[in-house]
């Protein structure tokens, strides 16, 4: 555990642990249709328990809902502005929403972990304690 502490934004985008910022939160690839949702119980590097209380990730559902709504609005507005037929609009919005489920699922959990993390006292100096 030597070197510079990774940035918060970079760690969030690469789905890394909010405490050590180097352990992976998810076990599989985002592009694996059956494995994109598999989450490690503990950080493989610092052993942080990600779901630190039962039902913790239920809160991510609200963030995921906001993401899905945002996707639908953006793609819906794009489709309407291009004078597409209603069938084409519905197919486009539904298809993109389904294709973006892994993104929505993963980043809603990551956002929840990072939003809650300041209250769990993750400090950058934590890496020094691991040495």
Asked if residue 12 binds Zn ion (CB under 5 A), the reply is: no
| Residues with Cβ within 8 Å of residue 19, at least 6 apart in sequence | 43, 46, 48, 117, 120, 122, 126
What letter does residue 45 receive in the DSSP assignment?
A: T
Asked if residue 45 binds Zn ion (CB under 5 A), the reply is: yes
Helix (H), strand (E) at residue 97: helix 86-99
Q: By C-beta, is 1 or 77 nearer to Zn ion?
A: 1
Instruction: Indicate which single residue of 25, 43, 79, 127 sits in contact with Zn ion (rule: CB under 5 A).
Output: 43
CB of 110 to Zn ion, least distance (A): 13
Window contacting Zn ion (CB under 5 A); options: 30-38, 39-47, 70-78, 108-116: 39-47
Exposure of 2 by Cβ count < 10 A (0-12 exposed, 13-18 middle, 19+ buried)?
exposed
Asked if residue 46 binds Zn ion (CB under 5 A), the reply is: yes
Instruction: State the residues that interact with Zn ion by CB under 5 A.
Output: 17, 19-20, 23, 43, 45-46, 48
């Amino acid at each position: 555990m030597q070197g510079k502490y990774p940035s918060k934004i970079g760690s969030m985008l690469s789905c890394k642990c909010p405490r050590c910022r180097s352990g992976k939160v998810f076990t599989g690839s985002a592009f694996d249709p059956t494995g994109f949702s598999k989450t490690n119980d503990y950080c493989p590097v610092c052993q942080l328990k990600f779901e630190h209380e039962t039902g913790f990730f239920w809160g991510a559902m609200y963030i995921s809902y906001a993401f899905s709504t945002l996707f639908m609005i953006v793609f819906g507005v794009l489709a309407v502005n291009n004078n597409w037929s209603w069938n084409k609009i519905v197919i486009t919005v539904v298809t993109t929403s389904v294709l973006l489920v892994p993104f929505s699922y993963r980043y809603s959990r990551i956002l929840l972990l990072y939003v809650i993390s300041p209250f769990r006292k993750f400090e950058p100096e934590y890496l020094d304690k691991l040495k």
